[in-house]
Amino acid sequence: MTTRREFLVLACGAASVAAATKVRAQIDPNQQALRKAAMQEALRRVVGDAPVRRGRVKLELPPLIDNGNSVPLSVAVESPMTPSDHVKAIHVFTEKNPLPDVVSAYLGPRAGRARMSIRVRLADTQTVLAIAQLSDGSFWSDSAEVVVTLSACLEEGLI
């Protein structure tokens, strides 16, 4: 069975794939559905039944990524970060990676600012979701769409 990466190695050097007007993800649709469900489940584990509101969170990712192996990601949440009103946790999820969880950061008033930067792996063109858990129990979110391309010539396993 030719894997997606093997196919791309064989195709390397041939005329580049005609640019589609819409960027399509490359993971098999059945797997996509499973992974999307996994993300919903991971989200439920963190949030429970509580509503998640859009806003107050800013998720920053480059829209077009050089290489999905290392993508700079930043999350910032509007919050005074006082003992009575602060961000307790920031969770990041993806919908197309093999696992939905990316990172969970736990802060408190001593952070000064609810802000974190990290480098992550993104398996495919997809939506990334950031959830902030506030001290009053509320949940806020932001999402970002990213386009991930693979290296033109893959050298899997070759050293």
Residue ranges binding other proteins (CB under 8 A): 8-9, 11-13, 16-17, 62, 64-67, 69-72, 94, 97-99, 101-113, 115-122, 149-159
Dist CA 44 CA 95 (whole Å):
14
How crowded is the C-beta side of 7, counted as CA atoms within 13 Å?
A: 6
Least Å distance, CB 48 to other proteins, is 18
The first and second tokens of residue 118, run together, are: 């990290």
Least Å distance, CB 139 to other proteins, is 17
Which residue number, 12 or 53, has a Cβ lying nearer to other proteins? Answer: 12
Contact at 8 Å (CB) between 119 and 75?
no
Which residue number, 15 or 51, has a Cβ lying nearer to other proteins? Answer: 15
Which residue number, 55 or 83, has a Cβ lying nearer to other proteins? Answer: 83
Least Å distance, CB 147 to other proteins, is 9
SS3 state of residue 10: helix
Least Å distance, CB 51 to other proteins, is 24
Tell me how many degrees the CA angle 48-49-52 measures, rounded to the nearest 5: 90
Which amino acid belongs to residue 103?
A: V
Which residue number, 24 or 51, has a Cβ lying nearer to other proteins? Answer: 24
Which residue number, 22 or 119, has a Cβ lying nearer to other proteins? Answer: 119
In DSSP terms, which residues pair with 146 in a beta bridge?
A: 126
Least Å distance, CB 50 to other proteins, is 20
Dist CA 53 CA 149 (whole Å):
31
